[in-house]
Structure 1
């Protein structure tokens, strides 16, 4: 005899609502202006998306944030009137336009973004390293359980570099590129040198590493390093084979772009090889353009090296 699924208990409902009240109070969501600003939570969320993603239409923005079309339209018109956003026609499509932040919009968003980082840091600083890890893992569990559009196995989190990551990244990239492209051990040595140099000279105000992790397993990573006051360099992008198809590679590149813009870089550059088709497709989709290419013999193979730039 089959039974209908049992609904939540009154105690579970009460606990859920209690946590919601606690969390909204904890991060100030009930304040008239988020982060002591003139902007609402929704307005800051829209600014965040525009600061960290490229090639967005209003339709895509509304869909991804679950916002009513009319409400979003009014919000964007307000931003446009204040000079915070601009609309860019899509060539060959008169019905859609891209929405992007202006320089004024970025100057408005950047202090909000820094204030949000500082707010979260102040909360996490009160916890021990172990407690912080338990907290972010619990948040990942909440996200997996409540997001109906993301299978639980596809959920991941991005974190900063930790002890043990450099060796792991060098090992995995060396092994994967040997398996997939036949590159020799000199590539693994190069990865280790780049990652070690990043750690030795790390400037937290201008550089960052993102590690994609799911339930303690590293799925991919990318580094952004300072090349000059105006130029940042994207390095060592990789995604584990079983994690491909999640949009992780594009997400890591978008994080680099958003960070570079927020820090005031004018150009984001990278070096790759023409055989890396999937990575090149991501770069091109994000607006990078090929600057030059040159034949070289490295990692035991004859290759075509390519330099790509993105104007920020």
Structure 2
């Protein structure tokens, strides 16, 4: 935790200095960053109130009042008495205020362009995606389900996908189940066999991506005209409980039903309790169980079958 806090504080120091937040005159204007932000929100809202600005930006009511007095003095806002509540005043930008805001926005765009001018397109994409992740994770009412809103699903493989999937399987199963390096060797073997016998018509793989990074997968491999195997079902820990795994699994099951397979099976070990719970909820039944020594552990290998017709 201490290292996390230290890294966040280090980033804050870097970022506030990098974009000039510490300057009293932000973007060479007569206003500070907080004042410019208030001006931006007034323009963005079209019409608003002092109370709304205070709540929206979590600023002190007295501070907001002082800034608005400055804006009135500079004739960049106007206050109009509310028809609904005579005690309240509607705040809007004047024509002068709109012009000031446009100039500030143009300067801000130029500042950002200068900051990122030496970045390659992939680096810019990484930067923007990272910023989006920060926004999602740090909102006051953060919920893991919010991550799922930005997850995209696709069918099929792209160059590099299998290498990444091998990496993720090896890393996660070592961390969560204590498997040794021989498990990664096993995963490499399964994907090698998959590629050697791959049939685009009968073998399918679906991937979930967040910011173009794979965060979940599932595959269906045809074993005969009547039977298929479910393989490589996985969701990264931070995306568990968001519905990502459920959607991947249901997609695979719907495909099997459309193909009119009579039976779908999977192989797992008893330690994969969360995954097994999902399998059982959709109707899989344990049909085999045998003790074995592999991947550095004594394991209970299990087979689960789902009758589709």
Taking structure 1 as the reference length, the TM-score comes to 0.52
Q: Within 5 Å, give how 1:136-285 maps onto structure 2.
A: 152-155=146-149, 156-159=151-154, 160-285=156-281
Deviation, 1:6, is 3.2
Residue 75 (structure 2) aligns with: none
List per-residue Cα deviations over 1:195-241 (Å, max 9, x = no partner).
Answer: 12222221122110111101111101111101111000001111111
Superposed CA RMSD: 2.5
C-alpha distance in 2 between matches for 1:256 and 1:190:
23
Residue 290 (structure 1) aligns with: 286
Q: Within 5 Å, give how 1:8-19 maps onto structure 2.
A: none
Q: Which runs of 5+ in 2 are unaligned?
A: 1-37, 47-124, 126-131, 137-142
The alignment of Structure 1 onto Structure 2 pairs a total of residues equal to 174
Deviation, 1:152, is 4.9
Q: Which runs of 5+ in 1 are unaligned?
A: 8-133, 135-140
C-alpha distance in 1 between matches for 2:272 and 2:43:
51
C-alpha distance in 1 between matches for 2:272 and 2:281:
15
Q: Within 5 Å, give how 1:24-63 maps onto structure 2.
A: none
**Larger-Rg structure:** 2
Higher relative contact order (CA 8 A, sep 6+): 1
Displaced runs of 4 or more, over 3 A? 1-7, 149-152
C-alpha distance in 2 between matches for 1:153 and 1:284:
26
Q: In 2, are the aligned partners of 1:219 and 1:243 still within 8 Å (CA)?
A: yes
List per-residue Cα deviations over 1:96-132 (Å, max 9, x = no partner).
Answer: xxxxxxxxxxxxxxxxxxxxxxxxxxxxxxxxxxxxx
Change (3 A) 1:220 1:158: same
Once the two structures are overlaid, the 10-residue window that deviates more, 292-301 or 194-203, is 194-203
Q: In 2, are the aligned partners of 1:249 and 1:279 still within 8 Å (CA)?
A: no
Change (3 A) 1:288 1:232: same
C-alpha distance in 2 between matches for 1:308 and 1:151:
29
